[in-house]
Amino acid sequence: MPRLDRRTALAVLLPPIVIGLIGTTHPAHLTQDAAPYWRDLHIVLLPLFPLLSVGPWLVARSVDPVYGRITLLLGYAFACFYSALDILAGIAAGGLKADREGGLATVFGLASDLGQVGSIAYIGATAAAAGCILRIAGARSLPGALVAIGGAYGFMQEHVYWPGGVLSMAAIAVGWAWMLLAVRSAQGAVSRSLP
């Protein structure tokens, strides 16, 4: 039986405890007066709900790699589809109810603000991962890193609209391909130099 460390225990226990504590303040009904808090509460919960799937994945992968992959896929499905519930029934519904005029401007405004946070996080994740690859492959991976980070920035600006967003996706793919080839080349050079 594998040993589960303190970090794994925290990953399993902390998300439901924090979400539960926040949930104690959730309004019972979506009223005009409760709508701004309803919306804001779901914005706070949006990055927390996906964390519910991290703990079970860490536990399962420490026991059996096959169950780890199954749990990862199920957790991914949960994170995607439960986030949709939170966005629609929590953030959008609260935003629309709070906007006494109602309308698309409310939904698009909320979506833009939240998408900006996600996009900045994606740029940061791309840059951090590219930095790791630079440590492994050196300068030969730098062009790919710059193209991938540029593509991530373009994605923040253009979403997936033609042509800018589509070209941003292509830049991300080309940048990652370049970096992966640089890693492969660096690993090949290391293995050839070993006796």
Tens of pLDDT along 149-171?
999 999 999 988 899 999 999 99
Domain range annotation of the chain: 1-102, 119-195
User: Residue written as tokens 């293995």?
Assistant: 191
Report the alpha-carbon distance of residue 98 to residue 58 in Å, rounded: 39
**pLDDT score, position 1:** 43
The least confident of 37-51, 164-178, 179-193 is 179-193
Q: For residue 168, what are the contacts with CB-CB under 8 A and spacing of at least 6?
A: 151, 152, 153, 154, 155, 157, 158
Average pLDDT over residues 70-85: 90
Distance from the Cα of residue 76 to its chain's centroid: 10
Is-above-0.85 flag for pTM?
Answer: no
**pLDDT score, position 55:** 87
